[in-house]
Amino acid sequence: MINLTISRECLADIKSDLEIIVVIDQQWKHPFVHDKKLLKKVGFGASQDEVCLLVERSRLYVGASSLQPEALRPAIASAVRSLLGKKAYKHIKVATYLTESTSTTSLQAMVEGIRLGSYSFTTYKSKKITSAIKKVTLSLEGYQPHTLSLEEAVAALHRGEIIADATNFTRDIVNTTPDDCYPQVMATIAKKLAKHATLNCQILKPKALRAEKMESLLAVARASRHTPRVIHLSHTPKNPKAVISLVGKGLTYDSGGLSLKPADFMVTMKSDKSGGSAVLGIMKAVAELNLPIEVHGFVGAVENMIGGDAYKPDDVLIAKNGKTIEVRNTDAEGRLVLADLLCYAQQEVKADYLFDFATLTGAAVVGVGHYTSAVMGKSEEIKSLVIQGAKASGELATALDFNPYLAKTLKSEIADICNISNTRYGGAITAGQFLSEFVDTTHQAKWAHIDIAGPAFVEHPWGENPHGASGAGVRLMLHTLEQIIQAHA
């Protein structure tokens, strides 16, 4: 774990193994840029996230397009990531890069960049390449003049560390293989988290799930040797400003069931627990930040496998709210788990806001790409709130609108609704509209569905994210919760 500290000392007075210098908007004439001629000689153009290590000068340069958090966070992360495996650099120093309008947010983004960029998942490596960095000193000497106090800087550092560590916690769960992370393991992770972070924790096993009439969720789990779990974590401060429920799809592995996925599409399906993992990460940060809101996290931990007891296309399932579902594809299983989980969350908590997270559809990736979450729901206000939270956090999100014509494609001739539409187009939207059938009238105006299939797991580094799990949804929701707190102040 890297020790981050704030110092009033000027950079020149801080002894370190390496200095990170950010070149903002290719401003070569800035006093912080000491090696202009050498940088140009080696072809360093200072474009966003471009890195150049000058070993003989003990300086690492990285480009950023601006002083805004969304540019600084990936730039610092790229610089730190470039040092993975380099054992000579144990103590790093860096100035503060901020403007008066972005003071604490830009500093927090830098802290997040350091923590997120130093992440590596090496559990299954016999030779582990990790960061040798033990300490990073952030000097209050600034790229521009500022009035940020030591107390404000320390508070921003503390918040940035908690948010980044929660994101890395989520990444670890998602990256863990299905043989090592199945429903019971996710429940154990939740219990340990609750003990560490002083959260309340309740785990529902199959007997309790049957008593709750969560037959849709149980059907998906039927063919697996790993029995399902529903996890309920809660943070309940006195006199909360608002009550929020978070619901996460925790498919620890998804084979597609009898509607078996092609072999290539089964690879990376350990990532189908990203929504549930994000909820666990969010709850960790909520508790450690001790936010003045009541937050409940619900995770449906299930494995979708094949076998003699597998649920089948043509089955009709009865969801917790009594609606019947015609199964036409067993690979559309996440929405069946979320249907019961949403009903259970609304039964247990009368929330002011309801958000669900899921790697729900490949259609979302087709529609908005690998890096962007798709936000859906019936409330323009709630969708806008989430998108603003994404923008503030550095995550990417965009709205996909429901429409009545696509809703008709979910019609079933033998049940209340089909689990897939009768068209191959608009699959992310029809999945969201399916979920809306399990959100009651009280919560419809308070609910948003967040499809994180695009950014949750990408097989190359991007921005502040490594190969594999990104922890998508964690930073987005924590910034959304911050907006909710401000709105209810």
Strands in 324-326's sheet, in edge-to-edge order, are 316-318, 324-326, 417-418
> Rounded to whole angstroms, how far apart are CA atoms 437 and 353?
17
Which one of 115, 148, 181 terminates a domain? 148
Other CB atoms within a 10 A radius of the CB of residue 448 amount to 24
Name residues of the chain where pLDDT drops below 50: none
Report the CATH number that the domain containing residue 102 is assigned in CATH: 3.40.220.10
β-pairing, 316-318 vs 294-304, is unpaired
The reply to whether 335 belongs to the active site is yes
Instruction: Give the CA dihedral 136, 141, 145, 149, nearest 10 degrees.
Output: 70
* pLDDT tens-digit series, residues 86-122: 999 999 999 999 887 667 999 999 999 999 999 999 9
Do the domain assignments include residue 103?
yes
> Which amino acid is residue 394, in one-letter code?
G
Do the domain assignments include residue 481?
yes
Number of domains in the chain: 2
pLDDT at position 277 is: 98
pLDDT at position 102 is: 64
Beta bridge partners of 468: 458
pLDDT at position 99 is: 80
- Token digits of residue 68: 């805004």
* Residue whose C-alpha is closest to residue 328's, from 446, 430, 459: 430
pLDDT at position 146 is: 85
Q: Are residues 207 and 309 in the same domain?
A: yes
pLDDT at position 147 is: 84
Active-site residue, from 261, 323, 328, 391: 261
* Residue whose C-alpha is closest to residue 216's, from 307, 339, 326: 339
Q: Are residues 180 and 105 in the same domain?
A: no
Domain, as residue range, for 51: 3-148
Is residue 166 helix, strand or coil?
helix
Do the domain assignments include residue 232?
yes
Q: Are residues 306 and 186 in the same domain?
A: yes
Is residue 433 helix, strand or coil?
helix
pLDDT at position 4 is: 97
Do the domain assignments include residue 206?
yes
Q: Are residues 131 and 236 in the same domain?
A: no
- The structure tokens 């597998």 sit at 310
Active-site residue, from 93, 115, 270, 335: 335
